[in-house]
Structures are given as structure tokens and as C-alpha cells.
Amino acid sequence: MNSFEPLKPGDEIRVVAPAQSRRHGLDRQHQRAQERLESLGYKVTFGKFTNSVFHQGTAKAIDRASDLNDAYRDKNVKVIMAMQGGWSTNEVLPYIDWGLVKNNPKPLIGFSDITVLVNAIYAKTGVVGYLGPNYHTVGSMLEWRFTFENLAATLRQEPDRKFVKSKFWRVWSDKKRRQTKPWKALQTGEASAILVGGNLGSFYLLQGTEYQPSFDAKFILAIEDDDEAGKYTVREFSRRFESILQLPNVRKNLQGVIIGRFQPGGKVSQFDIESIVASKHLGDIPVISGVDFGHTLPLLTLPIGGKITMSVTEKVVSLIAGDSK
């Protein structure tokens, strides 16, 4: 399944900052991100306001939206990447020219608070985006090859790509290398449907707005949460998940659930995850946990608004971007 034309050497990637602006002190990391993307033959450019700070580490909402609109308007730009996550992406939604986005479809890539934007773009225009690394994440040294290779495969639009787990993972705070456990099958089954979701705290912000994806057709839900709630992370994750399940048509059309990896600071155990899933009475749908997305590294690049195929048995978990063959 191709959601956009594969990038060719010389194609342009535009970096914008719909959440936080470029952070001081990360110059070398940003330089590595640019060098790595340019090593694939692509050109990297930046929005006008990516360095601007108005409040809480961001530019004015109208300026952030202006950079987005400019990126969609510019015919030379083939892919848009978010500088990084943050807390205020939803402020830009009223200022986006949705007709412009729909008439100039191109993918936006990012995670964390960028969950708001990739899902809103899909809801308003049907344009597929990607839950994947932010620009500054591409420049990280932590398990970077896995993240970068998955992003590169997406930019090349490799068809019906099978996702595989990482060998190791880390968090920014302690950088301790941990061995990745096999993705856990919590419920078995098969599903093939459009993927929505991402960071649960950010996805939650779309409820009741015109920017929330419709649940009127079959879909698979990807969810993860950060550790900002500390010892309450388990409770916050469970009740936010429940709030999604109570929305109209969600239980009717939910085909599968993909749960990301939690940060150690959230104190979320495997028992907690399994008990939460069991408490939701999700029916006969596949559910897996521990997948390589969330607020740890490395990261997969998952299509929001694109098709995902899950095949889950007690021993084998298969996750494919597109239709299984």
C-alpha cells in the first residue's frame, strides 16, 4: 500500500514545529538529524518559525500553522516532519487551511503531542500521516539505526512491509540499554483495518472536536502513554482508554489494539497491562503490547490513516503495513 509517492534523491523534507520549537543545546543532535536524512539523498529545509518562542517553548499558534500551510502549499516539499513533541499542538488546528492540505496531500511524521496533528489531518482530509520519529529524534544516538531504518523504509514506501521488534531499547533519562522482549500477545486473532491513535493523552484531546477521527468504519487502535503522571500512569492510561472505548461506534468497529512500550518511570508492569486489557472486555479481537513506539527509543514508523494487518497467535505476532499476502 502506497500512501504517497516514494521519495527520490533530491526530494525535499520540510521541518516544522507545531509543538515545541527547536531546543537550544541540541545543535549537534539536530545536525546529525540533517546529516542522516541528507545521506539518503534528500534535501532538508525548515519552516520560518521553527526557532521562534512566544510561550511555553513555542511560536504563536498562527505562526506555527503558517509554517504548516506553507509546507503543504510548496510543491517542492514531499514530506513534512515535526521538530519535536510538546503540549500545545492542538492550538494550531483552527488555523490550518484544511482545503489546502486535502488538495496537496503529503505525509506528516511525528509522535507524542504530534499525535493530535496526524490524527486531525486524517480526520479532516483523509491524508495519511505517520506516528514516527520527530526530527530531533532522528539525530539521537540511542538505538538510532532501528529508528532511522524504519523511517527510511517508509520514505521509500516499501510495500506491505512487515514490522519487526528491536533488539534493544533505552530511555533518554538513564540511557541504560535494555533487551527488547518479544511483543506480547494479550488476545489472539486477525485484523486488517485503518490505524488511528498514538499517545493516549494527546489523542484524548481530540474528543468532542471536529478533528477527531470517525469511528464509523473498522479500525485498529494504537495507544501508548508517557510517564508524566508518575505513579498514576496506570490509572491515567486505563481511564483514558476507557473514555475512548465509550465513544460512539468504537466498540462496534474496533478490530484490534496495539499497545506501545512504557517508560520505566511510569511503573507500569506487564500485569498492569494485562489486567487493564482484561477489564475492558474487548471481545474477540487481537491485542498486543510492548511494541516499539511510545516515549522510549527506538521507534517504528506507523501509518495513521493507513492500513495495518495484525495476525496474532500465542506464539507468533505479525504486524504488516498494508494487506498481508
- Is residue 36 pLDDT above 50, yes or no? yes
Same domain flag for 305 and 226: yes
C-alpha cell at 238: 486505563
Mean pLDDT, to the nearest integer, of 69-80? 98
Same domain for 186 and 113? no
Q: Are residues 88 and 215 in the same domain?
A: no
Residue 275 appears among annotated catalytic residues: no
One domain for residues 34 and 180: no
- The mean pLDDT value for 114-123 works out to 98
Domain boundary among 115, 132, 160: 160
* Same domain as 239, residue 194: yes
User: What Cα–Cα distance (Å) separates residue 56 from each residue in 21, 27, 53?
Assistant: 9, 20, 8
Same domain, yes or no: 138 and 149: yes
Please answer whether residues 190 and 311 qualify as being in contact, where contact means their C-beta atoms are separated by less than 8 angstroms: yes
pLDDT for residue 1 is more than 70: no
> Domain range holding 169?
163-321
Asked if residue 121 lies in contact with residue 92, where contact means CB atoms within 8 angstroms, the answer is: no
Q: What is the CATH number of the domain that holds 167?
A: 3.50.30.60
Averaged pLDDT for residues 63-73:
98
Please confirm whether the linkage preceding 264 is cis (ω < 30° from 0): no
Q: Is 318 a catalytic residue?
A: no
Among 160, 193, 212, the domain-final residue is: 160
Give the C-alpha separation, 46 to 218, whole Å. 37
Of 143, 160, 177, the residue at which a domain comes to its end is: 160
Kindly report the pTM of this predicted structure. Answer: 0.97
Q: What is the pLDDT of residue 136?
A: 95
- Catalytic residue chosen out of the listed positions 3, 66, 143, 295: 295
Check whether 96 has a pLDDT greater than 90.
yes
Percent of the chain surpassing pLDDT 90:
94
Q: What is the pLDDT of residue 108?
A: 98
> Which position among 224, 236, 238, 289 bears the catalytic label?
224
295 is catalytic: yes
Tell me the mean pLDDT in the region 175-182.
94
Cα distance between residue 110 and residue 321, in whole Å:
17
- Confidence at 324, pLDDT banded by 50, 70, 90: low
Q: Are residues 173 and 314 in the same domain?
A: yes
- In terms of C-beta density within 10 A (0-12 exposed, 13-18 middle, 19 or more buried), how is residue 70 classed? middle
Q: Is residue 218 part of a domain?
A: yes
Mean pLDDT along residues 23-48:
95
What is the predicted pLDDT for the residue at 173? Answer: 84
155 plus 170 within the same structural domain: no
Per-residue pLDDT, 3: 67
Does any domain span residue 1?
no
Question: Do 155 and 183 lie in a common domain?
Answer: no
Q: What is the mean pLDDT of residues 20-31?
A: 91
3-state DSSP assignment of residue 293: strand
CATH assignment at residue 78: 3.40.50.10740
Q: Is residue 4 part of a domain?
A: no
How many separate domains does the chain show?
2
Q: Please identify which of the residues 66, 112, 238, 289 carries the catalytic annotation.
A: 112
